[in-house]
Amino acid sequence: KIKVPLRIKIFMWFVHKGVILTKDNLLRRSWIGSSRCCFCDHTETIKHLFLECPLAKLLWRSIHIAFNVHPPTSINTLFGTWLN
């Protein structure tokens, strides 16, 4: 019931279900390529991309400073603080 564009709701649902096409998910679908994050060279997963990558951590710190929104601690709480 939150008032955000439909494409954002769908993206949030995809993240929650773990079906975003990160490199680890692409490899499960017979994709031929590296599973490494292009920003930090760790294995790219949804959790890594949104929470653990140094670039994501920098972004979350910036959001915390600018908007006083605390960084999420897991994928399940990724959008939870925004919805509240």
Neighbouring residues of 37: CB distance < 8 A, sequence distance ≥ 6? 23, 43, 44, 48, 49, 53
**Cα(5)–Cα(55) distance, integer angstroms:** 26
CA nearest to 75, candidates 55, 42, 52, 54 = 52
Q: Is 0.75 surpassed by the pTM of this model? A: yes
CA nearest to 48, candidates 18, 70, 69 = 18
Cβ–Cβ under 8 Å, residues 16 and 76? yes
Domain map (residue ranges) of the chain: 6-83
pLDDT in tens, 39-74: 999 999 999 999 999 999 999 999 999 999 888 888
